[in-house]
Amino acid sequence: MNLPWQNQRILVTGGAGFIGSALVWELNRRGCESIVVTDLLGTSEKWRNLVPLRFEDYLEAEDLLPRLQNGALGKFDTVLHLGACSATTERDATYLARNNFEFTKDLATWSLATGARFVYASSAATYGDGSAGMSDTSDDLQRLRPLNMYGYSKQLFDLYAQRQGWLKHLVGLKYFNVFGPNEDHKRDMRSVVHKSVAQVKESGIIQLFKSHRPDYADGEQKRDFLYVKDAVAITLHLAETQRAHGLYNAGSGEAHTWNELARAIFAAFGREPRIEYIEMPEALRGKYQYFTQADIGKLRATGFTQCLTPLTEAVRDYVQNHLLLDRRLGEN
């Protein structure tokens, strides 16, 4: 068994970002403040996610590996590696290879050498169009065909970790469509919930992409939507469960249509749905996932028994208690 969280020293990469800052928030709630946060703040507003949170130190990501390797930062019990470029539309493959693959290799090498528990963000984007299945129980990772370079950068590390035998010791989470507070800075990568709230306030209409497949009606494309508060609960459960190792799907286990999501957003406003279907950009059509649904049986088998937040309830909490109040996690 791991030490209780309040007795651990934790490194969170990407700790000012979406899931990373939510992890720091939940660790604070569990009594842990001995946390070192690293990120690339740049010119975005994600620094605001850190303001309500409690942690020991902050440093920019480019300074992390040198300071770990020379011992300046000391030891950590657990490394939660959420730092990565998460833009599915990023076309600079060299940048993604260095930032998402090489950096993760170096950090995992250091963590395993020092005995730190290493938990990292993979992605459901590794599954591509889903034709090879979305099971986290198969060892045949080579069968997967990501649709974009972001997904492939995550796949590269999954494959590398498997070849090195690391998947017997560390945990990788294949996050599905995560949404919730603290994603404001993500620009085009913000969830449809975040984007749609602005649309409803401005025009009273939510725009969704038309379908370009005859087997899916407009707005009936399906995704597995996971509330960030549930994503954090899953992540920390796997981090503290020593017998858990390898790759795990992190999703709700239930697919919902974009139309259902839109109706949940309107319900949070107390309004009748008004949905408009728009053309999908040409650049996305060949890379678009029409159906994702996590099989979370492997996760449940580790003893994760928590009930996940129903979509309508999660959307209502996000809209009413966070977006409409411009309230981040940890703010009263």
Indicate which residues carry an active-site annotation.
150, 186
Helix ranges (DSSP H) in 132-257:
149-164, 192-203, 228-240
Angle, in degrees to the nearest 10, between helices 103-114 and 149-164: 30
Phi and psi at 12, nearest 5°, equal: -120, 110
Beta bridge partners of 86: none
Q: Decide if 328 contacts 182 (C-beta within 8 A).
A: yes
The torsion region of residue 14 among left (phi > 0), alpha (psi -120 to 50) and beta comes to left
Other C-beta atoms within 10 Å of 238: how many? 21
Distance CA 91, CA 97 (A): 11
Place of tokens 């590996």: 65
CA-nearest of 308, 39, 22, 25 to 183 is 22
Query: Element (H or E) spanning 38, and its range?
Result: strand 35-39
Q: Decide if 76 contacts 10 (C-beta within 8 A).
A: yes
For residue 195 the two structure tokens come to 């984007």
Strand ranges for 51-168 from DSSP E: 57-60, 78-81, 117-121
Other C-beta atoms within 10 Å of 229: how many? 18
For residue 218 the two structure tokens come to 């407009």
